[in-house]
Amino acid sequence: MEKNEAKIRIKKLTAQINKLRYEYHVLDRPDVTDEVYDSLTRELKGLEEEYPDLRRNDSPIGRVGGKPLSKFEKVRHAVRQWSFDDIFDYEELVRWDEKVKRMVAKKAASSKQQAESSLPLTDYCLLQELEYVVEIKIDGLKVILDYEDGIFVRGATRGDGVIGEDVTENLKTVHSIPLQLSSPVMCTVVGECWMSKKELERINAKRKEKGEALFANSRNAAAGSIRQLDPRIAASRKLDAFIYDIDYLAVSSKQQAVSDMLESQLEELELLKRLGFKVNEHYRLCRNVEEIQKFYESWVDKKDKQDYGIDGVVIKVNSRALQEALGYTGKSPRWGMAYKFPAEKVTTVVEDIKVQVGRTGALTPVAHLRPVLVAGSTVSRATLHNEDEIKRLDLKIGDTVVIHKAGDVIPEVVEVLTRLRTGNERDFKMPDECPICGGAVKRQAVSSHAYRQAGKQQASAATYCLNPKCFAVEREKIIHFVSKKGFNIDGLGERIVEQLMNEGLVSNVADIFELKKGDLEPLERFAEKSADNLVRAIREAREVPLEKFLYALGIRFVGEETAMLIARNVEHITRNSKFKIEKLENIIEYFPKVSKENWLAIKGIGDKSADSLTEWFSNRENMELLKKMRELGVEINVSSVFHVTRSTLRGLTFVLTGEMENFTRDEAKDMIRKSGGDVSSSVSRKTDYVVAGSNPGSKYQKAKELGVKVIGEEEFKKILNN
């Protein structure tokens, strides 16, 4: 980035982050998640480090917070409230650990303890017992509690770290905060006030009935509850709190530093328990970064299974003496760090928008992004779905956007940060012709993805290439055909498929089965062995189960689940016929005669799928394709259709969402089918159960709206074993 561009970017980022910081720390009404805020801050920090002379006087980097609201009494904290710096990956963790060790060694060298200061760095740290306590980071509202003679006298919010707001009466309604301690000490303790996910669901359900705005997450709900002027409202919401730090402690009116009474962070947590505070039980003493990383990784998988929000882990030097020696920077402790979980939302810049053509002929605009790390992987592209979605987002090329990725969902743009515009952004326009074949295109009505995600039904339109022989359409059909869920032909990846098409060796899916070793050997990337391997893989893939065959054909609205439904219930469409579906010849002969009503007779197949099936098998060219495949030795295997071993789930339909802990989603599908149940890819009122793992997507919200029962992994296993 040129220096002049960086100057403009720094100005825009500074203004945007200061606005978000005010909403977060002052109003307690954050417009965006912590992940988005962190992403913008990291970008600004990087630019300021690259161009230090461009750092503005109002830069938020280095500041703790904003001004508190005047509606509550202002409270000056006895001990300044700091915020931990963030790290996001193992490499940053290692660098921080090395930095701590260097600082410890420097402190030793500056002392007059020559015997110790002359020791190697590692030996000195071992001598000083350089251990870390790792605690999970609760996503709630930070609160500071004061006790005199063991009696709770004041509770405050963090505010700007120096001045907070008195919310004593509201905190008294939190039952996990003791009004009297087990010992008559004077102390100031710090913790996190939070709301359970179950309580959030209950409150949002009531707010929805009243037509009130819903809380976006439990953190917002907790903050909104603590800052109610009427304590009765706070009392009506079942808030909770974990306490994790002692800022000040005096026993029998004898004031001493906490470090003089307690030698370690572990002792501090144990003392908090003895005094009667609720301390989160999930913490661990770690002796090196490998142990920290292991603890961190275990919570990446478990975090969504708790009833409270968790957004990372907090790492603290265990020794209180070393904490005191290491001290603080302008805004953060040197002895601690927040290790954030991989963000599912980050910000980046749309550098271009290009159009790709799918197997149905749909022209899909794709955002080409400045590469950014999201949910543990680097993302450089995100789907924009269609032209209407771009208009809804008010997206331009050059915009700063929020990217979302959850689980295995394709990254998508969910928000445009228009305040960061410079005036150099460019509008995007869908092409008037297919960018691949130059053929005519046409807009056709579809249901907008974004509105479906929001649980709304709103008409939208996608643009389609009308040329059935479009190179891009055929390429995507072939890629779909040979994929793992289809014919699963090893060695036929996207690049090889495109190469074979460019060489004129393959123009449709049937041509694959005509390939010979001699066709492949002259091509680039194909030595004798690789040609042999591909020809053998094609030969071995000629016979596939019926459900995989139907899926591979790429019939619109016929995905994996619909193909399985047809394969398992094919008798419904052949009941009053002399035909039996035993081989490909039977499909060629009978399926063109199947009416829409016959397809609808299979439970789980709707109008769109039935129409599409009827149209596909009525198409002469499609049937010629099947005949050619038959002549080339392609065959279906009906006997392999899923064998039902139990009938405990017969008549029940399940939808799976999120990530399972004890088995994969495919394994869960197999278990359901073996027990006689059906699996659907979408939630409807006919769905019996939605099985939700961690990171559930829009299917979870849809189930809640429709009143479909949502169960977790443990309940799912109980139903299976009944």
Burial annotation 223-253 (CB, 10 A radius, 16+ → b, else e): bbbbbbeeeeebbebebbbbbbbbbbbeeee
Task: Report the C-alpha gap between 362 and 383 in whole angstroms.
Answer: 13
Percent helix, strand and coil across the chain, each to the nearest 5? 40, 25, 35
Amino acid identity, residue 441?
Answer: V
Phi-psi label, residue 554: left if phi above 0, alpha if psi -120 to 50, beta otherwise: left
Task: Report the C-alpha gap between 573 and 333 in whole angstroms.
Answer: 70
Q: In what order do the strands lie in the sheet with 254-256?
A: 151-157, 141-148, 186-195, 239-251, 254-256
Distances (CA, A) of 114 to 106, 502, 520: 12, 74, 73
Place of tokens 């945007």: 16
Task: Report the C-alpha gap between 130 and 582 in whole angstroms.
Answer: 70
Hey, what are 716's tokens?
């799912």
Computed from CA positions of residues 291, 295, 296, 300, in that sequence, does the dihedral angle turn out positive or negative?
positive
Amino acid identity, residue 472?
Answer: A
Residues 6 or more apart in contact with residue 345 via CB below 8 angstroms: 32, 33, 35, 36, 39, 374, 402, 403, 404, 414
Distances (CA, A) of 597 to 147, 510, 606: 74, 30, 10
Is 137 an annotated catalytic residue? yes
Task: Report the C-alpha gap between 579 and 23 in whole angstroms.
Answer: 68
Catalytic residue among 12, 137, 142, 477: 137
Residues 6 or more apart in contact with residue 253 via CB below 8 angstroms: 186
Hey, what are 526's tokens?
């194909």
Hey, what are 486's tokens?
């289809």
Contact 280, 139 (CB under 8 A): no
Task: Report the C-alpha gap between 310 and 300 in whole angstroms.
Answer: 9
Amino acid identity, residue 264?
Answer: S
The secondary structure of 204-243 as a DSSP string is: HHHHHHTTPPPPSSHHHHHHHHHT-SSHHHHHHS-EEEEE
The catalytic residue positions are: 137
